[in-house]
Structure 1
């Protein structure tokens, strides 16, 4: 490896054209994922409260920002995009360190996005024991992918320092290329499982076919991540040359960053219907509390709403003068779905106009 390196950098001083495209695409998708997370938190704040799945989405976004930063560093101080013989040892070391950091951040970000989706499923579809078991199994697969992937990235070579100083005497702890293929394939399979997991539950819900299609479609947007997974694998297989990574990782980097940000965006999509419903009803009135607006949306029978923030209101025949904090658990039978445990945590006004209605999904 050292015989391939130049004593000084021979590449042009400007940013390589392919890296300009890489930075531009990454910036656009990072902006879109930022907007998605902001809208997610707005939706959660005006509906019920921020939950664990929201925080995991935020962590995934912060890690996506890390991917953007290292992408910019790769294009600037590391001068990525040129053949390896143009690099001095010092510049190649910078490039390889930055590449390792980007791969570590990538694996972490997509893992937190997957975990956010599973936490959302567990919260809104915590209905049947079989679904809970299935979601936990997929959750362990995600955790296993994250831990294994990070360890394989960091401990690929002995000594570890050979990751960014390949001219040192070293030995690979495993077949690097084969490991990339296997981990990328596992990533795609897990994404497909997460995509399919809620579909049987959605189609057994007691709601109109139109609402089932809408709800199912929201979760089916995960197919975009599967497509990005596939393109990432194709680029790794067809374009990456482990002996010349500086010139062959550009397109792979594009799909890697697209996948990271698409994962964040798709994670946030199921929270948007309640936000759209709120905006359609105009600004809040009265004391500024969302309680009355939330109750009206329930009584109007808007978008189907589920989960541990669900409100079931019963008319008592007379109006009470106080606002009651509802915090109890009850069991309801939904035909083919078995007993459903409902935990309410919103403030509602009990009156004769109230009726059975599913609460806010997210």
Structure 2
């Protein structure tokens, strides 16, 4: 951008943007031939770009912003590779853990339960959520392979003014799909935890609490899914509203995010903390009891991720650069679902690791005192009918009944 190119530059801008840039130039002390002053003396660019957003339509604003920044040679930040990397790594870990859980059931000839079916459904929803990170990335790589041109910026995590208009719409569609499948994935994982509790803990008041939480989780999951689908009316307004050319309205997503996050964190903490007291009463050695409690407490990671996801959603709801700021909303949703599935599948690991680490995952059953040791006949029955071992020790349905002594 120099004295000969400046008129051409202004002619290429929409009239609203050209007027904004000329006004910013007139208010500055930079010469029209001083490219360095114009582009690095932030007052001109900040004034012009701010004026674009106020004086131009959304599409004119994006075009003018991209054209101005490109003329100044400003490097554009990109985090397009972060979401696919997280989706690939954590998504694969969740899938491996789910497969190990199913393998443990099959190899050890243990019956499948509701908790297994629910975690499979949660994994299916999470898989769709993870796949949302890849379509635009794959398109870019395919274009590069065919045309031998630089990869086009189709992916999430790039500044909104650098991508084609149609890709903005596509990204918002992907975001909506991801959020819709996030809701049932989350609820199904919670229900899998609760069904697992019903499997391993004996009847009593504890079960009534589990059933109550399950009912709340079902209602919460269904209502959240419906709210996500119909947060804008018409539904298409969610992905068309950015252009300013569509008509419709949306709920206050900021307020809803706070409400949903508060309920979600309360549910997560309730479900994770629920088994701590009965587990502390198990007739296990102190070392094994500590390991069991630590394994269940890893579920608190889910709550931490939920808080991080809330922060990203609030930032996205206030953002004008939605292509960049919806990236954290996508990847924290994926991370939360994947981490929850991994935590739900952790109890299968000790049974599979027992042959490799017999010292850590031995098969002795402990009683709460020397006078209350489980009879050998009952030990044998427990060993044969061990429904679902947490540490391949005493945490099966029959073993828990025996350990209550």
TM-score bucket (shorter structure): 0.7 to 0.9
Moved more, 135-144 or 192-201: 135-144
- The offset of 1:82, in angstroms, is 3.5
Contact 1:273-1:303 at 8 Å conserved across structures = no
**What does residue range 1-362 of structure 1 map to in structure 2 within 5 Å?**
3-5=57-59, 17-45=78-106, 46-75=108-137, 78-128=154-204, 130-166=205-241, 167-172=245-250, 174-238=251-315, 240-278=317-355, 295=384, 303-307=393-397, 310=398, 334=404
Superposed CA offset, 1:253-276 (max 9, x none): 222211111011000011222222
Rounded Cα–Cα distance in structure 1 between residues aligned with 2:63 and 2:312:
30
- The offset of 1:66, in angstroms, is 0.7
Secondary structure at the residue paired with 1:111?
helix
Rounded Cα–Cα distance in structure 2 between residues aligned with 1:140 and 1:41:
26
**Who wins on radius of gyration, i.e. which is larger?**
2
- The offset of 1:117, in angstroms, is 0.8
Secondary structure at the residue paired with 1:17?
coil
Length, aligned pairs only: 300
Distance 1:82 1:311, change over 3 A: closer
Contact 2:83-2:156 at 8 Å conserved across structures = no
Rounded Cα–Cα distance in structure 2 between residues aligned with 1:76 and 1:180:
31
Contact 1:239-1:249 at 8 Å conserved across structures = yes
| Stretches of structure 2 lacking an aligned partner (at least 5 in a row) | 1-52, 71-75, 140-153, 359-379
Larger RCO: 1 or 2 (CA < 8 Å, sep 6+)? 1
Root-mean-square deviation over aligned CA pairs: 3.4
TM-score, with normalisation over the residues of structure 2?
0.66
Contact 1:8-1:88 at 8 Å conserved across structures = no
Rounded Cα–Cα distance in structure 2 between residues aligned with 1:135 and 1:118:
6
Structure holding more helix per residue: 2
